[in-house]
Structure 1
Amino acid sequence: MILLNQITSAVLQLLIFSSVPFVWYVITHKRIRGFFEWIGFRLAPKPPLKIMLCILIGFFVAVILPYMWLYQSGNLNYQGFTVDAFQQSGWSIQTFSVILVWAVLQTSLSEEIMFRGFLCKRFCKKFGEKIGNIVQALIFGVVHIAALPDKNILAMLIVVLLTGGIGYALGWLSLKKVQGSILYGWAIHATVNILSPIIVFTFLLPNYMPR
């Protein structure tokens, strides 16, 4: 049941996050064909695997200590079906399935479509690549403040800087290295979101141990 609820939630969020750029595309281009290519579903001639690995490693090096402080100080908590699945059955097939659906579809794919595939390109077209990428990254960071139970100023600043930083890096990757594709940023984003709950449940938050 938890897995079904997670799949439903993921599909709904994906549809909502995709609907805005889709409507924009239809209005501005007067057609439906070509939307997926326009949003960034395309392969680059030569995937920058070393750069992708550096971004992934750099993200974890940069965030591990600040996020440990956020969790252990109570400024950030985990909620949702991933927690429910872990509390119900521990490290089970259900838990890993819920994490995968949440990480790959609900968060990383929907956010890459909205932020890097749509907003980043629209802002870059209007303000130039540097400013446009900063704007989308800042919005991306601010959106993640919603995960904070208490709006502590220091905690908000940390979250905006860290998530905004990865948002900027993924925007730069899309713009400069993969010809506007969002597939490679999606791969990094999904990997981060798969590993995050595993690390949190295993090392940081013993109160999430299964009942």
Structure 2
Amino acid sequence: MILLNQITSAVLQLLIFSGVPFVWYILTQKKVKGFFEWLGISTAAAPPLNAMFCILAGFLAALFLPYMWLYRSGNLNYQGFTVDAFRQTGWSIETSAVILIWAIVQTSLSEEILFRGFLCKRLCHKFGEKTGNAVQALIFGMVHITALPDKNIPALCVIVLLTGGIGYALGWLSLQKAQGSILYGWTIHAAVNILSTIMVFTFLLPKGTA
């Protein structure tokens, strides 16, 4: 049941996050053809592997201590179907499937479509690349404060800087290194979500919850 609920939740979020840019595209371009390429669901001539590795490694290095502080201080709620599955069955096939669907589809794919594929490019067209990318990164960071049960200033700053920072880096990657493609940022985003979940479940969840 948890796996089915996760699949349903992921599909609904993907449809909503894709529906907004799709409606915009139809209204502004007056056509359907070319939507996926316009969104950035395409490959670059040369995959920016070096830049991808640097972004992933840099973010994981910068993430560890702030993430530990947020969790240990009670400033970060880790809830949802992933936690439910882990608490019921531990490291099972179901838990792994729930984590992968959440990390690859519900969060990283839907968010890359909305923020980097749609919002970043529209803002950059309107305000210029640096300003547009910074604004979408700030919005992306602010959206993540919903994970904070206690909206205190230090925790707000940490979560906005962490998530906004990766949002800016992924926007830069798409614009400067990937010819507008969001696929490479999606790969990094999914990897970060998977690794952070493994870290939390392995080291941070209270013993005896599985």
Q: TM-score if structure 1 supplies the norm length?
A: 0.98
Q: What residue ranges of structure 2 are gaps of 5+ in the alignment?
A: none
Instruction: Give me the identity figure in percent.
Output: 75
In structure 2, what is the equivalent of residue 89 of structure 1? Answer: 89
* CA offsets 1:57-89 (integer angstroms, 9 cap, x no match): 100111100010000000002000000000000
**Structure 1 pair 208/145, CA: closer, same or farther in 2 (3 Å)?**
farther
Instruction: Read off the aligned partner of 1:73 and give its amino acid letter.
Output: S
Report which stretch shifted further, 201-210 or 160-169: 201-210
In structure 1, what is the equivalent of residue 159 of structure 2? Answer: 159
In structure 2, what is the equivalent of residue 127 of structure 1? Answer: 127
What's the secondary structure of 1:163's corresponding residue? helix
Q: What residue ranges of structure 1 are gaps of 5+ in the alignment?
A: none
**Structure 1 pair 208/6, CA: closer, same or farther in 2 (3 Å)?**
farther
In structure 2, what is the equivalent of residue 2 of structure 1? Answer: 2
Instruction: Read off the aligned partner of 1:153 and give its amino acid letter.
Output: I
Give the superposition deviation at 1:180: 0.4
Alignment check: 8 A CA contact 1:201 1:209 kept:
no
Give the superposition deviation at 1:207: 4.8
Q: Structure 2: how far apart are the matches of 1:17 and 1:208?
A: 36
What's the secondary structure of 1:172's corresponding residue? helix
In structure 1, what is the equivalent of residue 77 of structure 2? Answer: 77
Q: Structure 1: how far apart are the matches of 2:187 and 2:66?
A: 23
The 5-angstrom pairing of residues 63-74 of structure 1 reads: 63-74=63-74
- Count of aligned pairs between the two proteins: 210
The 5-angstrom pairing of residues 39-188 of structure 1 reads: 39-188=39-188
* CA offsets 1:126-145 (integer angstroms, 9 cap, x no match): 00000000000000000000
Q: TM-score if structure 2 supplies the norm length?
A: 0.99
Give the superposition deviation at 1:205: 2.1
Give the superposition deviation at 1:209: 2.8
Q: Structure 2: how far apart are the matches of 1:194 and 1:66?
A: 18
* CA offsets 1:88-136 (integer angstroms, 9 cap, x no match): 0000000000000000000000000000000000000000000000000
Alignment check: 8 A CA contact 1:75 1:155 kept:
yes
Alignment check: 8 A CA contact 1:21 1:114 kept:
yes
Q: Structure 1: how far apart are the matches of 2:94 and 2:146?
A: 26
Give the superposition deviation at 1:196: 1.0
Give the superposition deviation at 1:197: 0.9
What's the secondary structure of 2:45's corresponding residue? coil
In structure 2, what is the equivalent of residue 21 of structure 1? Answer: 21
Q: Structure 2: how far apart are the matches of 1:102 and 1:158?
A: 23
Q: Structure 1: how far apart are the matches of 2:207 and 2:100?
A: 22
